[in-house]
Amino acid sequence: MIDSRIEKVDLALKAIAQDQLTQKVALWQWAYREMLHETLTGMHQLSHLAGIAERVVDEWRQPVDVVAPEKPFLAASALADRRLPQVLDGLGSTRDDQDRAQLWRLRYASLIASTLQGMHALAGAHHIDRQTAGSWLS
């Protein structure tokens, strides 16, 4: 699943002057953490809605607290994971709890991988990969 939030981060990074590397890095790092937090929290909630939380408890981790900067880079709603309703629809069409849990695991891994890959590519495109993705995702 393509993570459309990456486009919003890209636009925000483009709005920052190229010589303001520190601000670009800060935005990228904040968005990276915030997006993972949103996905982890949302998937945890979906596991409860689908009635499989006990089956997938080992697959998700407690979301880390995201330290909000004094002046947020983007509105918090801009980084809400809009892919989650598709996951819930897929879980709803599966009747067996074990199959739902397996589908949840696959979707969870796919969502996180998509976000990580997109953010890594974004760091490269904005020439901040050394300060961000290079050390975080290698």
The confidence score (pLDDT) of residue 61 equals: 56
- Do 56 and 104 contact (CB within 8 A), yes or no? yes
| Positions in the chain short of pLDDT 50 | 137-138
The confidence score (pLDDT) of residue 63 equals: 52
Please give the Cα distance from 69 to 41 (Å, whole number): 20
Which range of residues forms the domain containing residue 59?
5-136
Of 8, 42, 43, residue with least CA distance to 28: 8
pTM listed for this prediction: 0.80
The confidence score (pLDDT) of residue 138 equals: 45
Number of structural domains the chain divides into? 1
Please give the Cα distance from 124 to 128 (Å, whole number): 6
